[in-house]
Structures are given as structure tokens and as C-alpha cells.
């Protein structure tokens, strides 16, 4: 069973099974988590040269912790290339930067267009709370901005992208980019949010919700507010495209529309792209030829000024 499928099973268990069989489901859930972590530890990054002729890859650390690392995929002869920074998902607890659904189709599509693609890891639960994870992603963005020129990239033309838990983290930072400035970075061109269902954390926590949200957000309403994108929309929020999966059971599209309305009320515009896909497919199918990829690419191109 692939890690992508294991994550889907984990999410299903967190959403449904814990209600009916709490003890058995929690044990199964923990075994799945540990299995994914074990697989992640020895999974190498994709071979850039095999995926895209002439492409290369570098590794870098943006902090002292072993989880604070990134893989940098370079097109042939990059020169002032736009940069994509990708933040993986996995319920704030699992997942990694090397998963095929996170990387492969995206670099196949955007590296030939001349982009640099950076996939990052970050500390996760239970060792690091969501607030710490957001700081890690902010530090990674600042690192990429500070080093893009050494890779042939252009730090002023950067797109942030995240899926699932990573989508929540990038939405939080994009709503209030001062968190990235505090880490030594600066605002970026735009953000693609791939199927978050945690824009308004308090609203999520005050209704029936999966166990994974309890793991991530706990019981303190003040903490919910501190990590809720909807409660931190700043005047200089970064432009966002909100992609949502119509086949996801917890109405991420409704949440995306609500968040887009809040952004509009704050003077920002955030297009919502509703795709007839499952949650994992929103991530893994991005980069495949078709209308979905074209919409995302169009948003990126418009905000990069290409």
C-alpha cells in the first residue's frame, strides 16, 4: 500500500471509524501513522533527471532540526526563474516532501516551463504544534527567498503552494504575511491553497469534526484563533487561489467560498476553483494536462507578471 493511500485510509479512520470503534480505530490509526513515518524515513526524493530531461536536484536545510529540510528541483539552465514552494499535507502529523503525489506531476509540468520547484518538510505533531509548524514554513519561505538567486531563481517571483494540512499552513501565512517577515522573509507573488478544510478553526472545532483536528488544535479557543486563517486577514494578504474537492465529505468547497467572501470583504480577491475530484487527487493530479492545471497555471502566471 502506498503512503498516499495510507494517508487516505488514516483520514477516513479519523473521520468515521473513531465514532463507532474508538479503541480499535485509534490503535489502527496509530499503526498507520507509524507505518507511514517508517516508509517516509527511507524514501528517496524523485529522480529529477528521469522526470525532466536536464533537470537536477539539490538538498538544503533551513534549520537545525532534521525535519527542517527541503529538496530543490532545478530546470536546465535556470536564469531568474520563478519559484514554487510546496508544503505537503498529512493531518499536521504525517507525510513528507518526497511523496510522489506532492512532487512528480508538478515538476513534470512546471520545470519545463522554467520554474524552480522546492518541496519542504517541517516539524509535525506530536513534537511540534501547528503554531510551530507555521513558523517552520515561514522560515523555509525566508530561506528560499534568501537563496533563490544561487539556484538561478528570482526571489521576487515566488508562488507558495500547499495541500491539506499544508494548505491550512500556507493559507495562515498568506492571510497574514507578517509571520514570514518575522522570520526574515518578505511578501511573495501568490498562493495556491489545495483543499483546506480549516480556514475558520473555531467553526470547525465547534461542530462535529474528525479526530485529527483535536490532535492539531486541542481545546483552547484562544489557540484556535491564533492558528485560524479567517481570523488573521491582514491588509497586505497575499493573493490566493482556493482549490477545493467536490468529492470531499466535509464540504471544503463551502469553507473555501466562506473564506473567499471574508477576503473580499477585506479588499482581497481569492478565486475559488471547485474540482470534481477527491481530496488526494486535488494534489496528485495537479500538473497533469487539462483544465484544472491550466486554471492554476493561469493564476500563477497572472500574479508572477509573466
Q: What are the pLDDT digits (tens) for 23-70?
A: 666 666 566 666 655 555 567 899 999 999 999 999 999 999 999 999
Other Cβ atoms within 10 Å of 19 Cβ, number: 11
Residue 305: the pLDDT is 82
pLDDT attached to residue 159: 98
Domain boundaries of the chain, sorted by first residue: 47-304
What pLDDT is attached to residue 250?
Answer: 86
Query: According to CATH, what is the number of the domain 47-304?
Result: 3.40.50.1820
Query: What is the reported pLDDT for 43?
Result: 73
Cell numbers linked to 128: 511540534
pLDDT digits (tens, 9 = 90+) for 199-219: 999 999 999 999 999 999 999
Question: What is the per-residue pLDDT for 17?
Answer: 37
**Per-residue pLDDT at 135:** 98
How high is the pLDDT of residue 8? 47
pLDDT tens-digit map of 105-134: 999 999 999 999 999 999 999 999 999 999
Give mean pLDDT, residues 12-20.
41
The predicted model scores a pTM of: 0.90
Alpha helices in 94-164 (DSSP H): 100-110, 130-147
pLDDT classification of 9: cutoffs 50, 70, 90? very low
Q: Say whether pLDDT at 136 is over 60.
A: yes
pLDDT, tens digit (0-9, with 9 covering 90-100), for 235-279: 999 999 999 999 998 889 999 999 999 999 999 989 999 999 999
Widest CA span in the chain: 56
Q: Parallel, antiparallel, or unpaired: how do β-strands 56-61 and 69-74 relate?
A: antiparallel
Report the distance separating Cα 167 and Cα 89, nearest Å: 7
Residue with cell string 497575499? 238
Query: In the predicted model, what is the mean pLDDT of the chain?
Result: 91
Share of the chain above pLDDT 70, in %: 86
Q: Are 242 and 260 in contact (CB under 8 A)?
A: yes
Q: d(Cα 184, Cα 226) in Å, to the nearest integer?
A: 20
Find where cell 491564533 sits. Answer: 226
Amino acid at each position: 500500500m502506498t503512503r498516499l493511500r495510507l494517508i487516505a485510509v488514516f483520514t477516513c479512520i479519523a473521520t468515521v471509524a473513531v465514532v463507532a470503534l474508538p479503541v480499535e480505530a485509534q490503535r489502527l490509526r496509530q499503526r498507520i501513522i507509524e507505518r507511514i513515518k517508517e516508509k517516509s524515513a527511507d524514501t528517496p526524493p524523485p529522480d529529477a533527471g528521469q522526470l525532466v530531461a536536464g533537470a537536477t536536484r539539490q538538498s538544503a536545510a533551513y534549520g537545525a532540526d532534521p525535519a527542517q529540510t527541503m529538496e530543490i528541483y532545478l530546470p536546465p539552465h535556470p536564469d531568474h526563474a520563478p519559484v514554487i514552494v510546496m508544503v505537503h499535507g498529512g493531518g499536521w502529523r504525517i507525510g513528507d516532501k518526497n511523496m510522489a503525489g506532492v512532487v512528480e506531476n508538478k515538476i513534470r509540468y512546471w520545470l519545463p516551463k522554467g520554474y524552480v520547484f522546492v518541496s519542504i518538510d517541517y516539524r509535525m505533531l506530536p513534537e511540534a504544534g501547528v503554531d510551530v509548524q507555521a513558523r517552520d514554513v515561514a522560515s523555509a519561505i525566508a530561506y528560499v527567498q534568501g537563496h533563490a538567486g544561487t539556484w538561478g531563481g528570482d526571489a521576487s517571483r515566488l508562488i507558495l503552494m500547499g495541500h491539506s494540512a499544508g494548505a491550512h499552513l500556507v493559507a495562515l501565512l498568506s492571510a497574514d504575511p507578517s509571520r514570514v517577515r518575522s522570520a526574515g522573509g518578505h511578501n511573495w507573488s501568490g498562493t495556491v491553497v489545495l483543499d483546506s478544510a480549516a480556514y475558520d478553526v473555531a467553526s470547525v472545532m465547534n461542530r462535529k469534526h474528525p479526530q485529527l483536528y483535536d490532535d492539531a488544535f486541542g481545546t483552547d479557543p484562544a489557540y484556535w484563533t491564533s492558528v485560524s486563517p479567517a481570523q488573521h486577514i491582514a491588509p497586505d494578504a497575499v493573493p490566493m487561489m482556493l482549490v477545493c474537492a467536490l468529492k470531499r465529505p466535509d464540504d471544503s468547497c463551502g469553507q473555501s467560498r466562506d473564506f473567499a467572501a471574508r477576503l473580499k470583504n477585506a479588499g482581497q480577491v481569492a478565486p475559488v476553483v471547485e474540482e470534481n475530484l477527491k481530496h488526494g487527487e486535488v494534489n496528485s493530479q495537479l500538473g497533469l494536462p487539462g483544465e484544472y492545471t491550466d486554471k492554476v497555471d493561469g493564476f500563477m502566471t497572472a500574479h508572477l507578471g509573466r
